[in-house]
Chain A
């Protein structure tokens, strides 16, 4: 079974302590409804959904408020055993901001419940009725090769469904949600089943088609179970053991998926679908890092497998825009650099005028997304944020829990599919105004100003459980060191490029102090993210020849920790002063204030914009950032300089 669907892989995995968190819901300082929604945002299994549903049911029976969840009463009419399914509907609905109450009449009483004015369903005054019917509920008589008889069968089924609807409309006036029917996986003839009138396959196909036409004109709502079953595979959807055991309509493994789909529809009825797609750029919209790889280096071209994957993301974004979803950009980049591919790269499908709000700067992304929401005058719960970087995703989830942030697979080939599978933009109708919506927001959007910072970044950094490792250059790290030295453009103070032999020479020179830095966090190992080279200058002085860092770990105070490490080694070596240089290039404006932010004093400035800085090593250095420090294998260095 494809785990993207069966395990809801766009959602983060639930924490180990899920059940104790659930027990504590409502006592955390947030409202019960808020806590429930947070816990529902994970990929919960059948048992976890059942527990969540129990907590919601208990709160309701005690009359406890469930704000900010929106109440919704759903009656479920079914010919199969829905009991195991219903708690999953309630748990999944909370994920979409709904406090769902389910009304379930006795087993297989569909017609009686719909048509009797004072039936349990009608008298409960539901907001909506879901006809959760299976093809096995329908009077389907095979009429092989007989077009006329098949058509009569199809019309008969449609008449039955319409009668149910009329009953509900007359007796409780609830919204009616119909399901398409998943055809069985077992063939009678084989391929001919689809051609020949009157086979089970062609009868069900015809019923689905007629039902869609009917729903489109009646203004009811459709839940396309047939598509869902096709997406996961009919052989996975239908589970004969479960059907035989207790008339369970489909595989139990797919209950969380079905529950989420029902919840999306209910949320869409309440106008809770997302309206904005906020895109990260580097390694999301294109492959590579524009600031480092440049216009020629990013992967976006047709015919390049990696580029095709990112083009698929662009194509999906563009199609979403066509149906009225507003597009925005949040990227850690210099604005002009980030805009360049949109303006100049011939393979880019997305153009600047498709983007309503373009936020390329060095602020944290939570701040940017908040600015985008304000600029568009939309709530944060209308926003979906697509980013390849798990740390950025985690930060936004933590600081802006209302924003939907899909988990993404390692391989960008899965990005577009995952975004689609998450179903954030579920709609129950489409109007001509939708076509104009994206443009409307765009006209009104100005570039947002970003003064206000979202609080709590430090707390978030602490929760990342980072550990930073310092080592001198060595043979193992050499290839990556050379690569970083020759590739990094943005966070690079001097942009000095060195060859492999030159790096080896620095590595072996006892007078040269070298540093390779790695960073790991709860999301995994980021690998080598920074390189520093200090060469001896005047007496008791080190000149910082090279200092560069990967932009992937920006905003995590890594540079503070590097300076602290540098100061330790410098003092141990009897060094009294560090000299730093900023050599401006087209691309390293990001670090123009690097030394001033770290407490260095400016001692010189060239007309070219080159600046020189110094720091006495007796200085305390910056406050330590919340991370574990591992410093090792500096023996050679210490022997030489001690």
Chain B
């Protein structure tokens, strides 16, 4: 999977989770940039990413994420 494919799949995950098709998913995107990205939605986001990419994150990984770039790096290490 190349970066473009990964970000394209992440984009549909974000649109699904936040119910907003206007979100542009970039490596720099953080929680404060997205309406409704609170701690609970974060968990829902992680669960949806896990399901979409068929991977599981560890407890510490979930806590460490700073931005979408981190998330993408974590996914890339797994798939």
Q: Contact mask B14-45 → A, CB, 8 Å, 1/0?
A: 00110100000000000000000001100110
Distance between Cα atoms of A248 and B59 in the complex (Å):
13
Say whether A2 faces chain B, with CB atoms less than 8 Å apart.
no
Q: What interface size band does chain B fall in?
A: 10 to 19
Q: Flag if A245 contacts B44 (CB, 8 Å).
A: no
Contacting pair B43 A47 (CB below 8 A): no
List, in ascending order, chain A residues with CB within 8 A of B16's CB. Answer: 19, 47
CA distance in complex: A50, B43 (Å) = 13
B48 touches which of A46, A51, A246 (Cβ 8 Å) = A46
Q: Please determine whether B44 and A84 come into contact, CB atoms closer than 8 angstroms.
A: yes
Q: Do A84 and B43 touch (CB < 8 A)? A: yes
Report whether B40 and A51 are in contact in the complex, using a CB–CB cutoff of 8 Å: no
- Give the complex CA separation of A165 and B62 in angstroms: 38
Residues A252 and B19 in contact, CB atoms below 8 Å apart: no
Query: Is there contact, CB below 8 Å, between A47 and B59?
Result: no
Q: How far is the CA of A51 from the CA of B47 in the complex (A)?
A: 16
CB within 8 Å: A-B pair count: 36
Q: Give chain B's interface secondary structure class.
A: helix
Interface bits B43-62 vs A (CB < 8 Å: 1, else 0): 11001100100000011001
CB distance from B71 to the nearest CB of A (A): 16
Minimal beta-carbon separation of A322 from chain B (angstroms):
41
Interface status of A241 (Cβ within 8 A of chain B): yes
Q: Which residue of A lies closest to B45 (CB)?
A: A47
- How close is A107's CB to chain B, nearest CB, in angstroms? 12
The 21 listed contacts between A and B (C-beta, < 8 Å) are A19-B16, A46-B47, A47-B17, A47-B44, A47-B48, A50-B19, A50-B44, A51-B19, A54-B19, A81-B40, A84-B40, A84-B43, A241-B58, A241-B59, A242-B43, A245-B59, A246-B39, A246-B40, A248-B43, A252-B44, A253-B47
Question: Min CB distance, A78 to chain B, in Å?
Answer: 14
Q: Of all chain B residues, which has the CB nearest A255? A: B47
Q: Measured between C-beta atoms, what is the minimum distance from B43 to chain A in Å? A: 6
**Closest CB of chain B to A89's CB: distance in Å?**
15
**Smallest Cβ-Cβ distance to A83: which chain B residue:** B40
Q: How far is the CA of A248 from the CA of B48 in the complex (A)?
A: 16
Which residues of A does B touch, CB under 8 Å?
A: 19, 45-47, 50-51, 54, 81, 83-84, 241-242, 244-246, 248, 252-253
Q: Is the CB of B39 within 8 A of A244?
A: no
Within 8 Å CB of B40, what residues of A?
81, 83-84, 246
Give every chain A residue within 8 A of B44 (Cβ-Cβ): 46-47, 50, 84, 252
Main DSSP-derived SS at the A contact region:
helix
The answer to whether A245 and B47 touch across the interface, beta carbons within 8 angstroms, is: no
- Bound complex: CA of A8 vs CA of B48, how far in Å? 17
A51 to B36, CA, bound (A): 13
Taking CB atoms, residues of chain B closer than 8 Å to A51 are 19
B42 to chain A, nearest CB (A): 10
Query: Which residue of chain B has its CB nearest to the CB of A251?
Result: B47
Known: A46-B48, A47-B48. A245 touches B17 (CB 8 A): no
Q: How far is the CB of A53 from chain B (nearest CB, A)?
A: 11
A54, B17: Cα distance in complex, Å: 12
Residues B47 and A252 in contact, CB atoms below 8 Å apart: yes
Besides A47-B17, A248-B43, 11 other CB < 8 A contacts? Answer: A46-B48, A47-B19, A50-B19, A54-B19, A81-B40, A83-B40, A84-B44, A241-B58, A245-B62, A246-B39, A252-B43
Residues of B within 8 Å of A54, CB to CB, are: 19
Across the interface, which residues of B come within 8 angstroms of A84, CB to CB? 40, 43-44
Chain B residues contacting A242 (CB-CB under 8 Å) are 43
Q: Are A245 and B43 in contact (CB under 8 A)?
A: yes
CA distance A478 to B62 in the complex (A): 59
| A245 partner residues in chain B, CB cutoff 8 A | 43, 59, 62
Q: Which of chain B's residues have a CB closer than 8 A to the CB of A252?
A: 43-44, 47
